[in-house]
Amino acid sequence: MRGRLLRPAILILLVLGFLARPPAWMAEARPRAAPSPGVALQVPASPLLGEALTLTLTFDNTGSDPGYGPYIDLFLPLSGADGQSGGGPDDGISFSSADYLGLPATTSLLDCPSGSTATHPLTGQTITCPAQPPGLYSPFVWQLVVITLPFGSFVPDQPAAPVTVRADLSGYADVGVALPVQARAGFLYGADPLDNPVTDPPLQGSMTSASVTPTLLTLSKSYDGPEDETASGPNFVRHYTVSLNKPGGIPLSDVHLIDDLFNNMAYHGELSCSPAGYSPVQTPTLDAPANPPDNRLDVLWPSVGVCTGE
């Protein structure tokens, strides 16, 4: 009788042990946490008209599992502010090249009218193009640039991967009108390395945005002395350089360069400008600090250059 009673007890203990610690094959069958593709976007804030742009797209996996087939979708504002409404070319931003650590990246291009659907060049899935940007040309066309990263997979603790993109800003772009740039990251094969989109579809991260505002001119002023602090007085004459930069290929005429001096500085009267042909329209009080309007230096010349004064 004692032996018969022990057998059910042993069986119950085995079942309880099985439930408390399932075998390895059952643990592996548990669903894994999904990878999470993301991208950070850096763009120049105020580039000059007609100039080349450099954008940095930094790919990362912020999930807890590897993702397979990493890529980036970059949406450039091809139409710009006016598109082809005036009969000319699009006046936005267009793609030129992309590289990862100096090596060319594989890319695919697709025109993507705002709000329409298109077939993704890499995943083959139907995607919706970004919405119409407020205040810009309609129908607005984005240029979709799909960048394939040179990795089969991307694990969460892997260093973020920066991709350098070079693009061109149209010389017809509207000055002061912000142009949106958007990007998102993805995994072509999803959470496993197999091409099985029915059970493991491509993963796509959220969209990130930035803006580029075309600029006609940039102005800078630098101190040319031996140090940031100096003694004052007529025996300590120091120089400043005021530089005005314009886009290449765009002529400017009758340019005024105006510099209002601080009222604790004295103009010494030495002025050197390039190119030749400039003429001072107004100069500050000589060798004595002055308040407005007697502290203004105004130089006029037929083209943009560099002017150095004391």
What pLDDT is stored for residue 276 in this prediction? 80
Helix and strand numbers, DSSP H then E, in the chain: 2, 21
Q: 248 is written with which tokens?
A: 């290449």
Closest by Cα among 136, 161, 164, 148 to 53: 164
pLDDT at 238: 83
Average pLDDT per 10 consecutive residues for the chain, totaling 310 residues: 46 43 46 83 95 97 97 98 86 97 97 97 96 95 98 96 97 95 98 94 96 91 77 79 78 85 88 83 91 91 66
Amino acid residing at 54: T
pLDDT value of position 220:
87
CB 298 within 8 A of CB 281: yes
> What is the DSSP code (8-state) at residue 91?
B
- Residue pair 230/33 in contact (Cβ under 8 Å)? The answer is no
Q: Are 152 and 69 in contact (CB under 8 A)?
A: yes
Residue 58 parent element (H or E): strand 52-61
Each domain of the chain, given as residue ranges in start order, spans: 37-212, 218-309
Residue 308 pLDDT: 64
Task: Say what the pLDDT of residue 161 is.
Answer: 98
Q: What pLDDT is attached to residue 279?
A: 87
Residue 3 φ/ψ region, left for φ over 0, alpha for ψ in the -120 to 50 degree band, beta for the rest: alpha
Q: Specify the CATH class of 37-212 in words.
A: mainly beta
Determine the pLDDT at residue 184.
98
pLDDT for 32 equals 52
> Which residues does 157 contact at the CB level (< 8 Å), separation at least 6?
none
Q: How many other C-beta atoms can be found within 10 angstroms of the C-beta atom of residue 122?
A: 18
